[in-house]
Structures are given as structure tokens and as C-alpha cells.
Amino acid sequence: MADVQDELAALPGVTVLIHDDRCAAEERRLRRRGTIAAPTTRLHINERVCEGCGDCQRVSTCLSLEPVDTPYGDKTRIHQSSCNLDFSCANGDCPSFVRVIPGTKADHVVPDLPVALVDPVVIVNETDTTIRMTGVGGTGVVTVSRIIQMAARLDGRAASGLDQTGLAQKGGPVISDVRIADHELSTAPKASEHMIDLVLGFDLLGVLTPSVADKLTSDRTIAVLNMDTTPTHDQLMRKGPATPNATHVHELIEPLTRAAHNVYLNALDIAEAVVGDHLAANLVLFGAAFQAGCIPLSAAAIERAITLNGTAVATNITAFNWGRAAVIAPDAVAAATAPTIPTVATPRQHPAVLEAVRASAIPPALQGLVTERANELVAYQSASYATSFVGAVDAVARALFASGGSGTEDLLSAYIAGAFKFRAYKDEYEVARLHRDPVEQAKIEREFGKGAKAAVLLHPPILKSLGMKRKLEFGSLARPTFAVLSAMRRLRGTAFDPFGHTAMRRAERALIDRYDRLVLDAVAQLRPENLATVGALVALADDVRGYEDVKLANIARFDEHASDLRIALEASSVPNPA
Ligand code: SF4
């Protein structure tokens, strides 16, 4: 399709492309209903191998590729329940993808509610209530609106709704207003200023847009917000501004609302843990808003309305009740829905690492992080490789103390991340090791069921250079090869390293020293007025992501930005003429 578009774009004048195909969202819907057959395999991304470069998003333009925050930085995950199963994300030059034949998934067992539900006390204007909901198309915002209106009628109240869905197919913004009143409503309930009693933020970014935020009032509006955000297209492409963190959200929302009554909830996490379906997140948040006293209807009417809606009835009622429970007993719900598999394996403690850290000038607050990363480098290569990393961090820590500047802990923390990342570059040995990672394998089993068969998709550079265009699948029979490759890591960087002579590997090795020198030079010039420039320089390492051409291009950009920042730093070091 992209090729055809390029061809037409190159023709002079107007060209018309008629693409006659079923839309992907429709295809997904039909598969869910069993009307058309679904492929028998799935794709999975090994988060340890993933570099979070966003290239798979670029090649597939798929919104089911989500950024996921891990202890090793932000990575990419395939959101399975919204995946269109066209597998185009695996087309890039990336060794993170695993093709999975699902195993037997035990029926999802819904846990018992950890607390007894009690009727809430309504704290909004009961006789005339306006609710504004912000969400993302395809996630059931309009369904919640319909449920509220139906429940209001069942309770003998008047209700009306207005949905602003625009072109909100999968992924677009949706605003839905609902008004519940004791009297007949003659006008459309479009919420205007000073009118909103409850803002139900299924999508956080929607609440923070000026057209919604400007209509909230601190003496009337209560915010019930889902803190699990759906990434925007620009965020997926690693271009857009990040969604504000929880503290920032509180700072933005609280002056605009009845802050003491606001509820902040990770509704998506609860939905996936309790009913195994992200689509139930809106019902979880709706349940929380109800229990917080912001929806002046009876629980019985709401449950009846969910039943009359007829879709995923048991799931939606369960999600609604867990949202209620999350307001009554937040800690008990958090404990009951906490993930059972750690996000990353904990590396073994090596005595040489502990000793090196103990003898260093690394501040106590960062010693744990350095120890963890150094232990990981023992598994990556060797104890001496790991202790040389501790030595490099120690040198930067001492240089920072000598500079006496403020903000040194943040700088050191950014350097630790960058120095580790450059040292742990993902060559053939490391990719093999990380594909044997037990936590990653457990994640596949949890997601796809017991007995799931996984095959790693790789495009070995040597075969690529011989003209092979597609990736090969390395399944269970190839596992011993991965073990052998992983064990060969001691050859890394030596004259006997069969993979170490490529331009890619040479560039990766050279980057380690180049970055260290860059940071030490910058820290030597650190002054309060150039702290931001030094910080930007140290943080440059985070942008070097991806594999092969993607990574080489990022390294070139790193060098370009580093050179600009060094010039800026030198200019800031020239004393002003008196
Ligand atoms: S490394 Fe880049 S291309 Fe590969 S899965 Fe991660 S984000 Fe996608």
C-alpha cells in the first residue's frame, strides 16, 4: 500500500487510490463474534530485547503497540486484545519479536471482591447532575453513557446524552455528556462552564485539553480519573509530549475541582487483573465514580441497565463492582490486583560488584541502582566488565562532587542509565541471552497459556547480506543454539568474536568511551547556569535506540546533538567581558 501511495504521489496532477478492503477494526469485531476465523498465531515482543525505538510503530502505524515503562527504560508492548493480527509490526529490523502459538489458557478466574460493598453517600447535586466523560473511540465511552441514561429511567429519573464522537473510530477522542434530572429535559445536555458535576476521565489527556479543563469548577466538579493512559500516535512514535505523571496531574486538576473528593485510579490495571479485558476499564472507573457519590442512581438500576445492554454482562458488572471496591478499600484492591510476575529478573549479587560499589564515592541513594546494573553486566559479560562500569560511575560521581554543583544526583542517575545502556549493547550473544530470560518466558505463558509455543523471529545480518529478505523463525529446536550463543559472550570484543567486526558492533563499542569522555568533559565545566545544557548532554544516551540502520541513524544524531551541546557549553564557559 505504501509503495502504491509513493508511486501515485510521484505522478503529476491528481491521482485517486480506491482501497476496497474491510477496515481492521471491523475485522477485529467480527473475529470477536466468531463470524470470521482468527489467525492461529500471535506476536509478542520480548521487552528485554526491545529498545523502545518506535520503529515497529513507524513500519506498521499500529495503535496496538504501546509504550511500557520498565526498569530498563520505556519499551514497546503489543496490546493483544486490540491487536488487528496483521503482524506488520514485525517487518522492521528488530530481533524482539516472538511468534506464539497460544497454549491452553486456564479460564480466567475472577477473584472474590476483597471488601463488602456499601451504598454510597451522594455528594453531587442530586436533582440535576451533569457528567462529562472523556475517552478514546472503540473503548466503550458511549456504552457507559447509554447505561447511565437507561439506569436513570429505571430509577424514574429523566436523562439525556450527547456524544461528540467525530471520526472516533479506534483511537480517536470522544466526549460524551450526560445529564440526569428530576424534571423533564428539553435541551441537549452539552456541558457548559460551571455546569459539570463529574468529569469522568477514561482518558486522562482528554480531561487535560483546554476545551474540557476550562469548564471545570472548583466549587462544583469532582474528577474521577483513570491514571492508566492510552498513548497518542505521537507518543507511540516517541515524538509527542509524554503524558504528565501523577503528581503533575494532581497539580493541574486539583485547583479546577473539588480536590478533596477526586478519585485517581489505575482502572486499566484493575480491569485486566480482574476480568482479563482492558475494555472493562471504563466500567471500573464508572463503578469508582458511583461509589464516590458522584452518580445519583441506584446500584440495582445500574446493574439492570448493564444487563439490558446485553454485551459482556457478567464482565461489566464485575468491573463496575471492583471499581466500587477500589474506592471503599483501595489498598485491598491494589493488593488483589498486583502483578504476579516480576517485570524483570533480579540478577545475582556478585561480591566483586558489592565491594566496588562500597569503595566508591557513589551517593547511597544511587548505590542500589548501580549495584543492580553492575550485577546485570556480570551476566552480560563478566565481573571485571561490571566493576569497570562501577569505576566509570565512581569517576563521574567524584567529578560531580568536585564541581560542587546542584542537581548532581539527577545528572549521575542519567549517566548511570546511559553508561549501562551503551555497555550492554545488544549483539547476537545478548539477544540470545535475553530470549532465554525466565521472566520473559513466564510472561509468554501467562499471556498465551500453558504450553504456548514460541519462535523468535530473526533476520541474521549474514543472511541479510546474502539477500535473504524475510525473518527466520527460531523455535524450540533452536533453543540449544541460543544457549551456546549466550555462553559464547566471553568472545565479545575479542579478535575471535565472529560478530564483532561489523560496522554496527564497532560503532557500539566506540560509543562507550566517547560517551564517558563527553560526560566527564561536560561535568568539568558544570556551573549552575549551564546545568540544563550538561543535563541535556548526559541524557542524549537515551535517544540511541533500536537495531541496525535505525540505531546507526540514532548514533549519528547523538553525535550531531553532542557537538551542538559542547559548543553551547564552551560558549557558556567563556567569561563575560567586564
Ligand atoms: S526495538 Fe524498536 S522496533 Fe523493536 S520492538 Fe522495540 S520499539 Fe519495536
Residue of the CA atom closest to atom 4 of ligand 1: 94
- Give the strands of the sheet with 198-201, arranged side by side: 158-164, 173-181, 128-136, 198-201, 222-226, 263-265
In the prediction, which pLDDT does 171 show? Answer: 60
In the prediction, which pLDDT does 231 show? Answer: 67
Distance CA 35, CA 47 (A): 33
In the chain, CATH 3.40.920.10 sits at 128-328
In the prediction, which pLDDT does 575 show? Answer: 62
Q: Which atom of ligand 1 is nearest to the CA of 95?
A: 4
Distance 162 CA to ligand 1 centre (A): 40
Of the candidates 228, 201, 206, 226, the residue with the CA atom closest to the CA atom of residue 68: 228
Burial of 543 (0-12, 13-18, 19+ CB in 10 A): middle
In the prediction, which pLDDT does 168 show? Answer: 45
In the prediction, which pLDDT does 242 show? Answer: 64
Q: Which atom of ligand 1 is nearest to the CA of 51?
A: 1
Distance CA 166, CA 309 (A): 23
Q: Which atom of ligand 1 is nearest to the CA of 53?
A: 2
Residue of the CA atom closest to atom 6 of ligand 1: 50
51 lines ligand 1 (CB under 6 A): yes
> Within a 10 A sphere around the Cβ of 364, how many other Cβ atoms?
6
Taking only the tens place, the pLDDT of each residue in 40-74 is 999 999 999 999 999 998 898 888 898 888 999 99
Distance CA 547, CA 185 (A): 59
94 lines ligand 1 (CB under 6 A): yes
In the prediction, which pLDDT does 136 show? Answer: 79
Q: Which residues of the chain have pLDDT under 50?
A: 168
Taking only the tens place, the pLDDT of each residue in 469-517 is 788 899 988 889 999 999 999 999 898 998 888 899 999 999 999 999 9
CATH code of the domain occupying 128-328:
3.40.920.10
Q: What is the largest CA-CA distance in the chain?
A: 84
Residue among 49, 53, 66, 554 to mutate when testing ligand 1 (max atoms within 8 A of CB):
53
- Measured CA distances, 248 to 242, 274, 466, 510 (Å): 11, 28, 52, 39
| Residues sharing a CB contact under 8 Å with residue 260, sequence separation 6 or more, in sequence order | none
List, as one string, the DSSP characters of 195-252: --SEEEESSHHHHHSHHHHTT--TTT-EEEEE-SPPPPHHHHTT-SPPPP-HHHHHHH
User: pTM for the complete prediction?
Assistant: 0.77
Grouping H, G, I as helix, E, B as strand and the rest as coil, residue 489 is helix
In the prediction, which pLDDT does 576 show? Answer: 57
Residue of the CA atom closest to atom 8 of ligand 1: 56
Q: Which atom of ligand 1 is nearest to the CA of 57?
A: 8
